[in-house]
Amino acid sequence: MARIQRYIGSVIIGLVFSILLFGVFVVGMSSCGTSGARLRPFTERFYKDSGLTADQLKHVQFYIDRDIILYRMIGSNQSTVDQGRIATRGGRKVEEIVIRSGTPGTLVFMPKENRLGISFDADNAGNYLMFGPNPKNNNRYCLLAIEWDRDEGMVSYGPNHWKTPASSAFATLMVNHRNMKNTKYSSQSPEGRVVH
């Protein structure tokens, strides 16, 4: 009988410990990432409905929904790596930059109404990628390239051109919908002065 009681006691202690450990895990996970933010894709419709101006968009925090990998071949006469790390692709050395899913970015350049230059680089706003509505992805603002082919695309990032896998074509900008709804913007338009 005492053996059974010890067994039941150890099972109960193990169960309580497991529940506590799971609780710690859940709390820890909820404090990671974008602080529990409700992210949604930034779409052409959402942008138009928001009524945000280019200046107001500069105060919106964007995120990326998947990894974007940029790479460029390093010639034999190039001994330094500018921004990324050295990797090997197909037996050749390449400089590689990985922008991880969930990385925050800001608008730094807007050449026209539906093109957003978003920088994910905290040190250099000149390192940005272009995003625009993609009709093949419900008009979500996705990564734009100079050109795409079946396997990869060519994008401009900083002073150089980089290649990126074709899967990057669907890398989508995300925004915290709750924060955007709660943000108050103030705008004034002077009526002008007339001569009396």
pLDDT value, residue 78: 52
Q: Which residues of the chain have pLDDT under 70?
A: 1-37, 75-91, 178-196
From CA 20, how far away is CA 16, in angstroms rounded? 6
Residue 81 three-state SS: coil
Return the pLDDT at 106: 95
What is residue 92's predicted lDDT score, i.e. its pLDDT?
Answer: 74
Model's pTM, two decimal places? 0.68
Q: What is the pLDDT, as a whole number, of residue 147? A: 94
Buried b or exposed e, range 122-152, using 16+ CB within 10 angstroms: eeeeebbbbbbbbeeeebbbbbbbeebeeeb
